[in-house]
Each structure stands twice: as C-alpha cells, then as structure tokens.
Amino acid sequence: MSFFISDALAQGAEGGTAGTLELILPLVLMFGIFYFLLIRPQQKKAKEHKNMVGALSKGDEIITNGGLLAKISDVDDNFLTCTISDKVEVKIQRHAVSSVLPKGTIKNL
C-alpha cells in the first residue's frame, strides 16, 4: 500500500502548475455554462418585464400573475386600478402584471 502513496507524491512534485490548471479549468467551464444557460437569460427576462411594467398606461389590457384579465383604468407609481367587468375595479401592484394583451382582446372573448 505504501508504494501507491509514494508514486502519487512523486507525480505531484513534478508538475504542480499543470495540476492546478486541470483543477481550475473545469470549474471555469461550469461557471461559463451556468452563466450562458441560466443567469443571462433570467437577467434578460427580468429586464424585459421591468420595461413592460414601466410602459403600462391607461387603456392597456393585461393579464396578472393570478390570471385576471383586466383593462387598466388608472395608473399610479406602485399600483394599477383595473376594470375587470362593468363597475368592478381592483387595485393591483404593478409588478404583478404578467403580460400585456393586444387592444380589443377582452371584447373578443
């Protein structure tokens, strides 16, 4: 058993820099893969959502994260007043908007 340990120590003493590079390179590659497959698309999606929420205006038809289909009747800094049906209005937070629908979608449903 001792001859395995001495071989391993002797091999490590010869090429210390190559061993370090071989250990670091897979970690760098994994981080690069995670960045391009997970982190970057999520940041892009968050930026698009922020721009969409910032561009909301009166008269836009939206879908909320809870699934409500509504038309915006008033816009505030943090809240939107939305009309769900005749004489039924609700207040929702701006960031709770999931998507903006094309004009006239509510009438077609």
**CATH number of the domain to which 93 belongs:** 2.30.30
**Model pTM greater than 0.85?**
no
Name the domain count of the chain: 2
Mean pLDDT for all residues in the chain: 87
Residues 99/67, Cβ–Cβ less than 8 Å: no
In our burial notation (b when 16+ CB lie closer than 10 A, e otherwise), range 50-60 reads eeebeeeeeeb
Residues 81/91, Cβ–Cβ less than 8 Å: yes
What is the residue range of 77's domain? 58-108
Q: Give 58-80 pLDDT, tens digit per residue.
A: 999 999 999 999 999 999 999 99
Which residue among 52, 75, 93 closes a domain?
A: 52
- Answer yes or no: do 44 and 63 share one domain: no
